[in-house]
Amino acid sequence: MAQAHEARARLCAAHDWDESAVELVPVVASGDKVLDRPLAEIGGKALWTRELDHWLLEGRIDAAVHSMKDVETIRPEAITIGAILPRADKADRLLGAASIADIPAGARVGTSAPRRAAQLLYLRPDLTVVGIRGNVATRMAKLEAGEADATFLASAGLDRLGEDGVGIRLDPEQWLPAPAQAAIGLECRSDDTRVRDLLAAVDHAGSHAEIRAERRLLEGLGGSCSSPIAALSRRDGNRITLSAAIFSPDGKVRIADDTCFEIEDRTAPLDLARSLLDTAPPAVAVHFGGAA
């Protein structure tokens, strides 16, 4: 809902509308209903989009607001990304310790994200990962209740909820974030030219280019919600530097590489994906559909 409020504020500012011109329609996604199992066991990223897709295609809403890291790589042709808002802080934050190195030996770290779990175990194989899901408030409450000794949350989500002082920011150059992390996307029907034009007014070209590149990397890897993938884009003028890493789920193996390319280049992220998969041993590559 915080993301929806931001989207409405930007649309109203861009078109000089009163706030009442944009109605917010809450839709509870399946991913928010089932919190006791990993996403991969109950349907993957589609759990965050399924209900919104149905409402959009039925014409009950004109646009859907998404956290882009939770949107499947391959989307229905009838739906298009109409805008990416200016991207927020891409970093993760660590709650419960001053740094990864400072987490006590043998501690339980709560996360259901394969990327965070594998990246953590690569750096600290002595730690134990325990599953923990839910929104920001739920996960902070679980940490407070002692269900885990430490956990991770996205800086962008905390900032949007006014929790900018919570946790320790992890340098995204060292602790790579999730592809498309910190980006709010607005989707609409592909054939709805009126809404597409309205959304275009709030599209941030640079952020959109980063998200396009990172989602293209995911496409090349065949990544799903169960694939440990980390990525970071940096823009410099009309060029993007994209760093990426894939892991074995237990964190014992890390394969990393990077590339630099023109913003319009749709092939370079695919080439990076192929480089990662070609380097990965079979025990890692088997977790990525692009290895086929």
d(CA 240, CA 263): 6
Q: Which domains does the chain have, with CATH numbers?
A: 1-87+183-203 (3.40.190.10), 92-169 (3.40.190.10), 205-292 (3.30.160.40)
Question: Burial, 189: exposed, middle or buried (Cβ in 10 Å; 0-12, 13-18, 19+)?
Answer: buried
Give the contacts of 8 (CB within 8 A, at least 6 positions apart): 19, 22, 24
Helix, strand, or coil (residue 177): coil
β-sheet with 254-262: strand ranges across: 229-236, 239-247, 254-262
Active-site residues: which are they?
A: 70
Per-residue pLDDT of the chain (292 residues; tens, 9 = 90+): 999 999 999 999 999 999 999 999 998 876 555 555 554 554 445 677 889 999 999 999 999 999 999 999 999 999 999 999 999 999 999 999 999 999 999 999 999 999 999 999 999 999 999 998 788 888 899 999 999 999 999 999 999 999 988 999 999 999 999 999 999 999 999 999 999 999 999 999 999 999 999 999 999 999 777 899 999 999 999 999 999 999 999 999 999 999 999 999 999 999 999 999 999 999 899 989 865 4
Q: What's the whole-model pTM score?
A: 0.91
